[in-house]
Chain A
Amino acid sequence: MFLRLAARNLVRNRWRSFLTAGGVAVATALLIWTVCFSETFSVAMVKGATAVDVGQAQIHSAAYVKKASLYHTLTLDEAQLGAIRRVEGVAGASPRAQVYGLVGNESRSQVARILGIDSVNERAITNLSKGVVKGRWLSDQAPQDGAREVLLGKDLARLLGVGPGDELVVFIQAADGSLGNDVLSVVGLVQSGNTAVDRATVLMHLSDVQMLAALEGVAHEITLSVTRFEEAEQVVGAVQAVLAKDNTSAAPEDRLVVRTWKEVLPQLAQMIETSEKSIWIIYFIIYLLAALGILNTQRMSAMERRREFGVLLALGVKPRSLGAMLVTEAVFLSMLGGVIGAALGWGVSAYFAEYGLNMAALSDSGSFKYMGVSFDDQFYFIVDMGGILEQLVWVAGVGMLCGLWPAWSSARLNAVQAIAGRT
């Protein structure tokens, strides 16, 4: 009977119920869109940050983890690399040597991070090769004679005033104390969107860097990419297990340590976490607006029906039942709005999941960048059904909370005074 009464009450003032449910629906749809967007944004940020430079995981010697230094190397072992590549979830593994040196010519020079890479395997771990904006990527094999090949970050090339085909000189402080120097030939320019890469990085063949920096047979890191971002931690565990055998026989400072991008770049991980948390402020505001709408409606309708409630109480209806009826109304109203909103929000998000949201349109430069990380221009939404259901539960909860106050005050009505209209 109370359900019928509740339903009848909502139908009686159709416009008001419709508008309130509509408000809840819009709020819910907005929430679901926001949930999907922020999820997409976080993943895109991780992708953008890891795809061009650090990959999703890295292997270093324990000494290097403590202090990144030219001298803290790891010995390259093809069998070991093969074993790492065979670990499930590993999409690619590539060794790198990282040194600092001076690159320039007779008129200008700059200090640069010189990254020695395996030109073939690097393609499997980062997007750097896709970021070649001028010229070409390093050839598969380092040329045996002639100038050594080098790729420059686009901004670094601008600072030095050079382009593909030009010559550069490099000075590297080698690990044996000598001063490696040679002539380089610029084969291409790279634009990654990552400021550190574009402004200060030089890419060369690993073998050339090993030769110039006296690092024969060693490297500083092995960079890994994973097939699924979410599984980076599990993959790291599995790779660490593969290395366990070699690690037991190694000296403590030479033991290999596998870390996810989160551990390699703790500041970035924290930044993403903060940005994920800040979304809760938006949730709160939207919920607050929806809650105020429901509260207003329920309070108004309860005020209007005071006499009716007085009669019901006089007829022997228990105050508790009366309150329950009002709460039911509120929950029903919010659920109606919630379901419509969820459908709407899901629909819009599904559209963006299919066709993508053009983020580049939001920026003047034509490519979307945030905190020094560049993103894909098209955002393909990740639609998380669990998240949508979670929002529905929240909306129902908010509806119930908002029904409580009018229900509580109505249940405490004095029947005689209410009928007389004297409250």
Chain B
Amino acid sequence: MSVWLVCFAVVGAAVYCVGVEQAQAQEKPLPKVEEITKHLDDLYRSTASHGQMEMQITTAHWSRTLNMEVWSQGEDLALVVIRSPAKEAGTATLKNTDGLWNYAPRADRLMRIPGGMLSDSWMGSHFTNDDLVRESSWEDDYDTQSAWAKEGGETFILLTSVPKPGAPVVYGRVEQWLSVEGWLPVKAVFFDTDGVLVRTMVYSNVVEFNGRKIPATMTLTPADKPEEKTQVTYQKMEFNAALDASIFTARGLRKAAQQ
């Protein structure tokens, strides 16, 4: 009797385990949406970061490469200073709790950028001011839903985000494809409020900086000008850097810009 009981228990457990495994393969439980959006918000951000990046802009009329130095701290502080080409060296964009500014090195003056221009082009690239200084947050400004998605035989987490009412966002919907492992963005597709494709961002070249793996290259293609693109590559990145918060002030900007 005890033998039967044991046999029964073993077979039952085995059947149970196989069933669970099958279910997991088909329908692995999705990670919590809040966790992913928080992860995305923090991916290129940390308590403080400092890095160098290269921006290659290709348009129908010209193409050029900018080298920039970037600093950020938390959600509210960011500074981008162009280092080359020489003509624009020192041109900078600053975001702090008071607002957004451009710095004109020739004039040695700051100019406030109206909030309405967050979605405007940054320095002639296809990136917007918002892309650069990340005013909007996936967690705070969007309602996001997640799902599994397959493309080219690979499985991704697909996030569909719709802006919350009143959020400072121009898109009507954003679809992001994330790797299942590490939740790294692979592709983001932006639609306007009419559901028309506006631009596509492709993430590639995963590099480890300071023990954190991020896609170091982002390529942005506007939907209405498929022959144009802007590619940004992080060349150096130091997360959790020791930064003095005074760099995110007018004086700090001038000092950084005139280096």
Q: Chain A interface (Cβ within 8 Å of chain B)?
A: 71, 102, 104-111, 167, 169-171, 173, 175-179, 181-183
Contacts and interface: CB of A to CB of B under 8 A. Distances in A.
A177 B62 contact: yes
Contacts of A182: 104, 106-107
Contact of B111 (A106, A173, A176, A178): A106
Interface string B133-177: 000000000000000000000000000000000000000000000
Interface in B57-92: 57, 59, 61-64, 85, 87-88, 91
Given A102-B111, A105-B109, A109-B114, 5 more contacts: A106-B111, A109-B112, A176-B62, A178-B124, A182-B107
Contacts of A102: 102, 111, 113, 117
Nearest to A104: B111
Q: Is the interface of A mostly helix, strand, loop or mixed?
A: strand
Contacts of B114: 108-110
8 tightest A-B CB contacts, nearest first: A183-B107, A181-B104, A177-B62, A169-B109, A169-B111, A177-B64, A104-B111, A173-B124
A111 B101 CA distance: 14
B110 interface: yes
14 contacts: A102-B111, A107-B112, A108-B114, A109-B111, A169-B107, A169-B110, A169-B111, A171-B111, A173-B121, A176-B64, A177-B59, A178-B85, A181-B91, A183-B108
Contacts of B112: 104-109
A106 B110 contact: yes
A273 to B, nearest CB: 34
A142 to B, nearest CB: 16
A171 B100 CA distance: 15
Contacts of B91: 179, 181
A2 B62 CA distance: 88
A71 B110 CA distance: 28
B61 A177 contact: yes
B222 interface: no
A183 B103 CA distance: 11
A104 B102 CA distance: 10
A79 B232 CA distance: 47
A106 B91 CA distance: 15
A178 B64 CA distance: 8
Contacts of B59: 177
B63 A181 contact: no
A71 B61 contact: yes
B228 to A, nearest CB: 11
Nearest to B114: A109
B201 to A, nearest CB: 21
A181 B113 contact: no
Contacts of B61: 71, 175, 177
B120 to A, nearest CB: 8
B111 A179 contact: no
Nearest to A108: B112
Contact of B109 (A111, A167, A175, A176): A167
B105 interface: yes
Contacts of A111: 117
Contact of A183 (B101, B102, B106, B124): B106
B253 to A, nearest CB: 12
Given A102-B113, A106-B112, A109-B112, A179 B123 contact: yes
Contacts of B111: 102, 104-106, 109, 169, 171
Interface residues of B, number: 28
Given A106-B110, A171-B111, A178 B87 contact: yes
Contacts of B105: 181
Nearest to A173: B124
A177 B107 contact: no
A106 B109 contact: yes
B113 to A, nearest CB: 6
Contacts of A179: 88, 91, 123-124
Contacts of A109: 111-114
Contacts of B88: 178-179
B97 to A, nearest CB: 16
A168 B129 CA distance: 21
Contacts of B87: 178
B62 A171 contact: no
Nearest to A110: B114
Interface string B168-188: 000000000000000000000
A169 B117 CA distance: 17
B110 A181 contact: no
Contacts of B117: 102, 111
B124 A171 contact: no
A175 B64 CA distance: 12
Interface in B235-252: 250
Given A102-B102, A104-B112, A107-B112, A181 B123 contact: no
Contacts of B110: 106, 169
Nearest to A174: B124
Most A C-beta atoms less than 10 A away, residue of B57, B59, B63, B102: B102
Contacts of A183: 104, 106-109
A177 B102 CA distance: 17
Nearest to B110: A106
Most B C-beta atoms less than 10 A away, residue of A107, A108, A178, A182: A178
B104 to A, nearest CB: 4
A176 B250 CA distance: 29
A171 B122 CA distance: 11
A129 B62 CA distance: 36
Nearest to A148: B107
A177 B63 contact: yes
Most B C-beta atoms less than 10 A away, residue of A108, A109, A170, A176: A109
Given A105-B112, A171-B102, A173-B124, A181 B57 contact: no
A176 B64 CA distance: 9
A54 to B, nearest CB: 26
B147 to A, nearest CB: 39
Contacts of A104: 111-112
A261 to B, nearest CB: 29
